[in-house]
Chain A
Amino acid sequence: MLKDLKHYESELGWCGRCSYCKWVDLPVLKSHRFSKICPSIEDRNFHAYSGGGRLNLAWAFLKGMVPYSEKMLDIVYRCTMCGACDISCRVIMGNMISNNEIIHAQRVRCVEDGQILPEHLVMVDNMKKEDNPFGEKKAKRGSWTDGLKLKDAIREKVDVLFHAGCRFAYDEELRDVIREAAGFLQEAGVDFGVAGGQEACCGLRAFDVGFKGEMEKYAEDMANRLTTTRATKLVTPCAECYSAFKYYYHWIGRKLDVEVLHITELIDQLIEEGKLRFRKEIRMKVTYHDPCHLGRLGEDYESWDGKWKEVVGHMLISDPPKPLRTGENGVYQSPRNIINRIPGLEVTEMERNRANAWCCGAGGGAMEAFPNFAKRTAMERIQEAKATGADALVTSCPWCERNFKDALKESGEKLEVYDIIELLRRAK
């Protein structure tokens, strides 16, 4: 359940400033060049921009020592909410500090106090008006299905509800990805449908910038839609939507009562079952980018409402035991299984991968309010991909793909960027 910042006051005081939050999990560190994990402190350098620094700031804020200021808001909002600090902190603090929850709670508090960035306000207003962050007409949302003859899940019973997500539904450059994905599901005989114009945003982008009510509204909306469709599975090609459905909705107390799958999980399964085959050779070397929301933020949420009690004197243990989110249980293998099965494709790993992947920069409202920061973050990942000698960077999230493409365009550097579905289309 979402809690107020004040609830975390004890946790704020448990940070010992070890700085693990700034690095990849240290045993997996492979080089000086790609050793860091936090885009925010890499961009601004002051400790306050790190995971631990954010805890320190929140503590000082709660004690009334830090007033709202332009700088304070810059620190609070210049973060991609990638969850990396949350995972790195586990190495040292175990289940004691809920970094990701605290960072969200701080933003929620800012919004409650009216401390909102104008760019975020525009985005949220768009969501309120048109159910998407871009302000595109709601009526256009289902137009990506034109000519595909997909089932309308609102009218017909289906096993699987296919949720396209805002970025795929409205980004014309990326829209073919979901059209292809839907085609693959048709080919494999999956009984699925779409909500078309009835589909709405998952709400995560609003929640990430502190508007908890918006996501609560969208969670309720999705729950109702699932009830209407009677689907037992919810499938999405968008990593952010996946994270919202799997992790964030559960966290805010609106766990969906269906199986949530990312499209890569379903396709991996369909290939395994022999229902989909990709035989055409692709002569290319690729590297896979783990989207934060599919990886460390794609791990299921387990609620905990226990207490800390002292043992052996003053050592604190949780009662009942507090679940430990490690980031290790995100969706890492399915995308790899898929690309590894494409004939001719040479797959190489970046140094920072899986739970230690560097963020693409698109999340947390960074793309909207700090576009240069978002692009610098993307370029860091692009440099890492290039260092592997890959011809292309492959991902499974439209926000990552968009940000990589925009960053490449602006920088003038060259690297192919694909969604996994695009590679599958070429292998068909």
Chain B
Amino acid sequence: MLKSREASKILENVVGKDNFSEDPAVVSSYSVQYSSEVLGFYSKEEMLDKIRIGAVIMPGSTEEVQTIIRVCNKYKISYKAFSTGLGAWGTPRRENALQIDMRRMNRIIKMDEKNMYAVVEPYVSHLELQAELFKRGVTHHLIGCGSQTSILASATSMQGTGHSSVTTAYQGRNVLGEEWVTPTGEIVRWGLVEEGKAGHPGPGLRGIYRGRAGAYGALGVFTKVAVKLYPWPGPTELEITGKNPTRGYKIPYNFRIYFLTLSSPEKVADATYKLADEEIGYHIWYYPLFIHTQRWVGEAKSNDDQYDTWKKIEAAGLIEKSMDTLVVIIAAYSEKELNYKEKVMRDIIEETAATEFLPGFITKDVMERFFAAAIVSHKPCTEFRSGSGETGGGWSQFLSVDAFMKGKRPFRELFRKYVEKGVLNDYGYDTFWSGPEDQKAMAHAEYVSHTNPRNRGLVEEHMKFQKEANELALKLRILGTGFRAAGETEKNLSKYLGNYFNYKRKIKMVLDPNDLSDSSMYLGIGEK
């Protein structure tokens, strides 16, 4: 419940009684978000008790958002907005705060395939837009955490790497305009968001409101975003194969998929650079064996299947041979182009001595399931299945592929240490994935780690592992900005990067003088 009854009344009047609630039956469902515990707060058992949201409000327009923020400033109510709401970073951390659920703002405002941009509101999900874009022969950058998530959220407030980052960058790069209600309630518009007006680039504010990693809701609320579109080499409708829960897409004639094993992490980096230099990869990604067995190899319907597949791979003696892998999709607009890319691919395979990944396991069904996972970011949340509703992880981006590959061996040692202590699930060598962005300009790398989230002791050990993993990355100078690093870790990182954290603090102070837009994932909990 909000502290001010008067504020509650006003907020209810702003959006109508159907769109505002302080009832425990409503607000309690906003307390459950994955990753809360491994970000350092509590075990999953304690989640409902620890996150006590005061009220939930669902605005239907930018003007309503503006009024809500002004009311929050008047009555000193802390608030945080989320769009589709996935992850601990969408939930306010202060007690009795206001959760702004952007669900009612769900329009695709514009799709301009000629000028290659689309304008959407917060609740439009990647696949909703993509379904419409396929029909127009274009695509957009779908982020890796799932096509059910908001486009606007990753574009304005988070990182947003994805399977096709090698060709479609990370989401922060794709912003061509936005509509932003600042923490003091001003509406700022720039770029291609203004309906009916000729688009113009306008002043670039990305460095202020999102930087590389996004402000995670600490700098007001974004109500529209214009994102860049890309050519789509595939058909206007993909043919569905398989059945729920393991559907795939028939691989179009002009696409090829390569599952490769390399002999070392350095060779993975080498192959990635060669592919990027030749600009032939539509998708280039390193996945650990754990992800392959979870999502597409074998039956891939449940943990039972994943475990069975793992055992079969083990029996085939392939675990150790599947440590350093790469999956590549190539796509072409003509047969000539496809022939050329296939030839280059063969040359790179030969030069890097890449071999077939998991021989005997990569069937047509597996390929089709993988294709759906890669093209429309299907099923990444199966992490929750392996982690009993939880997943931890860390590291980040803004570095190079070889920098991350350099970190793989020491990370494996650290990971094994916590496996042997009985803290982490044992997924073989590591659970670390990475891929290049913008051809090879940058790279994203991320690991996932699982424990039993309902055991407080294990969660605390898991947190220690994360801290050590971040320290290791700092030591190796391979920790990127932002992702799961708010607070102490980021401050330490910032020392090596021009003390940029101080600039974040200044930006926050200038834009949000009352410190109401929840900054727990931007500056850290309790930080100002």
Contacts and interface: CB of A to CB of B under 8 A. Distances in A.
B379 interface: yes
Contacts of B387: 16, 315
Contacts of B410: none
Given A14-B384, A46-B29, A317 B128 contact: no
Interface string A162-194: 000000000000000000000000000000000
Interface stretch (B43-51, B208-216, B345-353, B476-484): B43-51
B240 to A, nearest CB: 6
Interface stretch (B2-10, B270-278, B297-305): B297-305
Interface in A81-115: 87, 90-96
A231 interface: no
B498 interface: no
Nearest to A31: B131
Given A71-B21, A72-B25, A16 B381 contact: yes
Given A27-B247, A35-B127, A93-B384, A13 B454 contact: yes
Given A16-B387, A27-B238, A31-B132, 8 more contacts: A17-B85, A46-B29, A92-B385, A94-B305, A314-B450, A315-B450, A318-B302, A322-B302
A278 interface: no
B85 A95 contact: no
A27 B372 contact: yes
Interface stretch (A203-211, A323-331, A333-341): A323-331
B131 A93 contact: no
A176 to B, nearest CB: 36
A32 B307 contact: no
A324 B246 CA distance: 12
The 10 closest A-B pairs by CB, nearest first: A94-B302, A16-B384, A313-B425, A18-B381, A60-B28, A72-B25, A14-B389, A56-B29, A16-B34, A48-B29
Interface residues of A, number: 62
10 contacts: A18-B86, A18-B381, A31-B128, A46-B26, A56-B29, A69-B23, A90-B301, A95-B302, A312-B426, A316-B303
A342 B25 CA distance: 50
B244 A13 contact: no
Interface string B189-204: 0000000000000000
A17 B29 CA distance: 9
A66 B304 contact: no
Contacts of A71: 21, 23, 25-26
Contacts, number: 223
A355 B238 CA distance: 19
A53 interface: yes
B80 interface: no
Interface string A43-83: 01111100011001101100101110101100100000000
Interface string B202-245: 00000000000000000000000000000000000110100111
B125 A35 contact: yes
A69 B23 CA distance: 9
Interface stretch (B100-108, B155-163, B507-515, B517-525): B100-108
B383 interface: yes
Contacts of A408: none
A65 B49 contact: yes
B304 A95 contact: yes
Interface string A3-16: 00000000001111
A314 B388 contact: yes
Contacts of B391: 16
Nearest to A310: B452
B223 to A, nearest CB: 17
A426 interface: no
B243 A92 contact: no
A45 B58 contact: yes
A93 B384 CA distance: 7
Given A60-B29, A311-B307, A46 B101 contact: yes
